[in-house]
Structure 1
């Protein structure tokens, strides 16, 4: 077995990787490993938002709304605890938890683009979402003070 290959795969140094990638027609993309400012970012999907300022602003709004929604789902009171329809209530809570976790992971991946604007949009979405849904400022009527959500708290 050749030291430079493994199961027929060429384990070439990175200098050869550039020429190999060029031969296949792919561009080598540099991924940022530190925070940077700028509209030319790659967020969540290949080619999105692109190089247009309007699409970058739209992507910031999208990240903001996802973070805002996570806070809303984290403090939702959708399930009625009346003792009946336990299975339906359980399925609904499972779906809400799935959506909440999916959005949270998408936000995490967007922030991993290391774009400072995306980071600020995510933090602002969580902060304003908490202010609206978590502080009780906008709640009218009586709520059970002991129960803030149907879903358990998010933890890592």
Structure 2
């Protein structure tokens, strides 16, 4: 069995899948993390973003938080009123809102796939606060008659 030393690993990192061209021409390439790590040196959603500056990393965390928060807002808000006059328009708006919510949720998932601990915590915090404000009963007036509870979680989309 071959010993996995530093030289072998360096060789693995320098090979591209398009024919083995060395990455010496691209010295800024880095290996993707496959476990959670802590630190500000991460790539989130786009190549080279947020870069190496701490301020940009904080901005990236805020963006991930807002993506998760907005996904929760869209999941639990009723932007299309029941009994709308134009059923076709209401259905199209509902479909567009659903597509937007799913797109935001996928962006949050892709950001989490950076395996950065801060990004993970920002995404969870965004979903937490969004659900607390829009999905839970904390800030809602209780109904006169409490219906039978079928689940603690609301349906995925309640437009």
- With normalisation by structure 1, the TM-score equals 0.77
Checking the alignment, whether the CA contact within 8 Å between 2:112 and 2:123 is kept in structure 1 is yes
Give the paired residue count.
137
Shift of 1:139: 3.4
Which residue is 2:52 aligned to? Answer: 51
1:74 aligns with 2:75: yes
Which residue is 1:104 aligned to? Answer: 105
| Structure 1 Cα separation of the partners of residues 77 and 85 of structure 2 | 19
Shift of 1:15: 7.4
TM alignment of 1:7-156, pairs within 5 A? 14=12, 17=15, 20-22=21-23, 25-27=25-27, 28-82=29-83, 84-139=85-140, 153=156
- With normalisation by structure 2, the TM-score equals 0.76
| Structure 1 Cα separation of the partners of residues 110 and 123 of structure 2 | 11
Shift of 1:17: 2.1
| Structure 1 Cα separation of the partners of residues 47 and 84 of structure 2 | 47
Q: Give the direction of change, closer, same or farther, for the CA distance of 1:78–1:16 in structure 2 (3 Å limit).
A: closer
Determine helix, strand or coil for the equivalent of 2:21: helix
Superposition RMSD in Å: 2.8
Determine helix, strand or coil for the equivalent of 1:62: helix
5+ unaligned residues in a row in structure 2: which ranges? 1-10, 148-153
| Structure 2 Cα separation of the partners of residues 33 and 133 of structure 1 | 33
| Structure 1 Cα separation of the partners of residues 103 and 51 of structure 2 | 24
5+ unaligned residues in a row in structure 1: which ranges? 1-12
